[in-house]
A and B are shown apart, each in its own frame.
Chain A
Amino acid sequence: MSRLPSRRALLAGASATAAAAMLGGCDRLGNAEWFQRTLKTGEDANLFVQRLLLTDRTLAPEYAETDISPWFKPNGTEDPLDKAYKAFAKAKFAKYHLEIDGLVEAPFKLSLAELRKLPARTQITRHDCVEGWSAIGKWTGVPLSDLLSRAKLKPGARYVVFHCADTMDQGNALEGGGDGEETDEAPAGNANPSMTKQSGSGESRKDSGGQQATDDDAASGGSPVRYYESIDLVDAFHPQTILAYDMNGQALPVSNGAPLRLRVERNLGYKQAKYVMRIEVVESFAHLGDGKGGYWEDQGYAWYAGI
């Protein structure tokens, strides 16, 4: 038994070292690229298993009128500063056209009025933000599958990309102008649940909008990064995947993505692209942004957002 104390000391030392290494080392480990790739296998497994569990037609739960949230919390961009968008909004989107192109046989453009004449689907669904909160809203819009069928996908088409009107990062041409929505709307900024409608940064942004550069200034420096998202054909042809122009029976407000936003109901909020201007069918999204398939994906979020 005389060897026990040394073994004890060894064990104590080992556990102390392990604890210290864990607390200090996890952050460093989490920053190492190989380790990040390893951690991401968890999210790859989520996609794999959820695609096994869900058929292409498994519907997200739909709710009753009485379940609709009195206030549908807008998140991310709430009032795009882009001049082109502002001009559209001023004219109540009369001059707005949705473009569909890319790997399609028949690219086309549709005005908002033309979109409204197409067969529509209305659904009351729950919106789940990656931050953790939920809200229920009623959406009316055109099934994306109808538009894609009309455009006729070319062989090789694998993803549908949504190009949006709102600029997230102005590029490096700006100096301290407060680079748009992204800074204000980082998850930490939204962490306060008591945040009310009026405390949204819309007003303050309008004030600073005068000095703030918009996309026109981009020519003098870095290019602006606009919001974009992508989904695969499983989600694109899902019956509940619609391009919504109405929310709760009224025209979609600017804060919630007017004139047109994506609803892809089995996914988290950041997939539900707002201010959709153009739909591009692609084989790969590697050439867009940082190549991860969306604005938030380029910041490290998982491309598949089913959980």
Chain B
Amino acid sequence: MARTYLTRSAPETGEIERRRWMFRHPVVIRITHWANAVCLLILLMSGLQIFNAHPALYWGKVSTFDAPLMAMSSTEDDPPKGMTTMFGHGFDTTGWLGSSIGSNGQAADRGFPSWATLPSDQDLTGGRSWHFFSAWVFVLNGLGYLLYGLVSGQLRFRVIPSRDQVRHFSASIWEHLTLRFPQGDEAKRYNVIQKLTYLVVLFVLLPVQVLAGLAMSPAMDAAFPILLTLFDGRQSARTVHFVVAAMLVLFVLVHVALVLLSGFWNNMRGMLTGWFVIERKVESAPVAGETRA
């Protein structure tokens, strides 16, 4: 259907606007993208549920209960105050962390509020079921994506910066910061910052997150003691798991913000149907640009 829009304007001299349809996202990428998005949301919310069972973080092999890196608690006041301590400094986080209004309308002693956790009420075993199930789907989905990406060449095209991109690195940082999104042929590929971000998320954050999760398992620690060496102990692994989750949340927030700013419907259409529109201004008779599937 979209092919009929391939060229809309007559090639005239002078400045004219052209729309070009590009088949950007093959079906495997689209499916794995959305499955991944759902998994990450469930993993995050069920992870916060699990965290709430003991809302404190430590460094090292064991919990140093009287000296946590970070802890959430509630006070004896009526109504109770929510307190969050970080590196020995206390903050009043009433309503958000430590104490918040539960789904029944009552103030509840809990780390993260009920709207952020899955299930919404305090339910460690429910949270664990959601977390492990979606972790399996996430890992299998991710492996499917990687395998497809490697075989099809999509992965290399998407996340490895090309030589000219590396050369113009600083210029593209400036473009990115001023929110000037590339047009024309440049819009067909991800820019260097996008590529590096995806590279770090795909090959650093997500693998570290999985490994830190596994390092919390007593059985996995028996099978692969190197997990404990890698993270400096089980409690550090739990802290890393929490911090990397926060970094992934930050990534998703920036990702969604840029999707909105750089043309929400075009981006959504791209990730739902595969078809993406490239707008460009050309000076004279255009050169037929190849579409890269």
Contact = CB atoms under 8 A, between A and B. Distances in A.
Contacts of A71: 65
Contacts of B132: 42-43, 45-46, 307
A18 to B, nearest CB: 10
B129 A43 contact: yes
Centre residue among B66, B219, B238 by max chain A CB count within 10 A: B219
Q: Size band of the A side of the interface? A: 35 or more
Contacts of A190: 53-54
Centre residue among A23, A43, A63, A71 by max chain B CB count within 10 A: A43
B195 interface: no
Contacts of B265: 4, 8, 11
Interface in B123-140: 124-126, 128-136
A36 B129 contact: yes
B118 A26 contact: yes
Contact of B54 (A39, A50, A132, A265): A132
Interface string A37-58: 0111111011000100110001
A4 B124 CA distance: 45
Interface in B214-243: 214, 216-225, 228, 234-235, 238
Nearest to A55: B223
A267 B218 CA distance: 6
Contacts of A43: 128-129, 132-133
A304 B31 CA distance: 32
A129 B220 CA distance: 15
A58 B53 contact: no
B63 A135 contact: yes
Interface in B62-97: 62-63, 65-66, 68, 71, 73-74
A114 interface: no
Contacts of B22: none
A23 B218 CA distance: 33
Q: Size band of the B side of the interface? A: 35 or more
Q: Binding site of B, secondary structure by majority: helix, strand, loop or mixed?
A: helix
A128 B234 contact: yes
Given A27-B120, A42-B129, A299-B125, A69 B62 contact: yes
Contacts of B109: 188, 191-192
Contact of B52 (A26, A129, A191): A191
30 contacts: A27-B118, A27-B119, A30-B119, A40-B129, A41-B136, A42-B136, A43-B129, A43-B132, A46-B132, A53-B219, A61-B222, A129-B54, A130-B53, A132-B216, A134-B61, A187-B54, A188-B110, A191-B52, A191-B55, A192-B73, A193-B54, A193-B55, A193-B63, A193-B65, A193-B68, A300-B126, A301-B125, A306-B217, A306-B219, A307-B216
Interface of B: 41, 50-56, 58, 61-63, 65-66, 68, 71, 73-74, 109-111, 115, 118-122, 124-126, 128-136, 214, 216-225, 228, 234-235, 238, 265, 268, 272
Q: Name the 3 nearest CB pairs between A and B, nearest first.
A: A306-B219, A42-B133, A42-B132
